[in-house]
Every structure is written in C-alpha cells, then in structure tokens.
Amino acid sequence: MKRLLTPKGLVGLAILVVVVAVAVLAPVVIPASFGTRMQMAMRLKPPAAGHWLGTDQLGRDLLTRVLLGARTSLGIAGAAVAISIALGLPLALLFLAAAVLYVPLIWRF
C-alpha cells in the first residue's frame, strides 16, 4: 500500500481509473452505430478535427472503434485473471501441502 501512495503509484492509479472509466462509460456515451457507420468518402483519412485517430478502409472513425473495443478487451483480461486464479490457487495449495508433508520425509534420508 505504501508504493501506491508515491507519485508514480498515483499516476499509475489515475491512468488505470481513466482507462476503466472510459471502457465502462463509452458504450453509454457513444451510440453503437457510430462504431459501424461506414462513410466510403472518408476512407483512410489522416487524423483531423472530426476524426482524432483518422478513419479505416471503410471510413469508420478509429477513435470510436477503439473506445467501444476497450470494454471487450478489459472483459477478456478480467476473465483471463479469473481463470488463472481459479486454476493456479488450488494447484499452489496442493503443492504447498505436498511439500509440507513430503519434504521432512525426504530430508530424513
């Protein structure tokens, strides 16, 4: 907890809060049709005032697509963490119990 209160820790925490807030609030603020709306006249445009990250091959705004995709990315990351904890924790406890039982027996010989 002490590391979290350092300036670097606070900056990291602020970045994490902003990313999670954007991922959670983007679908509420941005209509889903904005991410799939195609404008063939706007194909492969560079960043500008109307499209901060530019557009893709189908004229879709890249910033909107990134913001709407952040929720999916965080969901997949959370699922990966949950699966690794669900599988790793029981295995670690099993090996710890085995080590506590068998290591003293091995050291006797």
- Find how far residue 5's CA is from the centre of its chain: 23
Using 50, 70 and 90 to split pLDDT, how confident is the model at 39? very high
The pair of structure tokens assigned to 71 is 């929720």
Instruction: Residue count of the chain, please give it.
Output: 109
Listed in sequence order, the DSSP H helices in the chain are: 7-29, 32-36, 62-108
- Residue 1 confidence (pLDDT) above 80: no
pLDDT at 75 over 90: yes
Q: Is 16 a residue whose pLDDT tops 70?
A: yes
Q: What is the pLDDT of residues 78-87, one digit of tens each?
A: 999 999 999 9
Question: 54 and 66 in contact (C-beta within 8 Å)?
Answer: no
Please tell me the pTM assigned to this model: 0.74
Contacts of residue 40, defined as CB under 8 A and 6 or more positions apart, other chains included, come to 58, 59
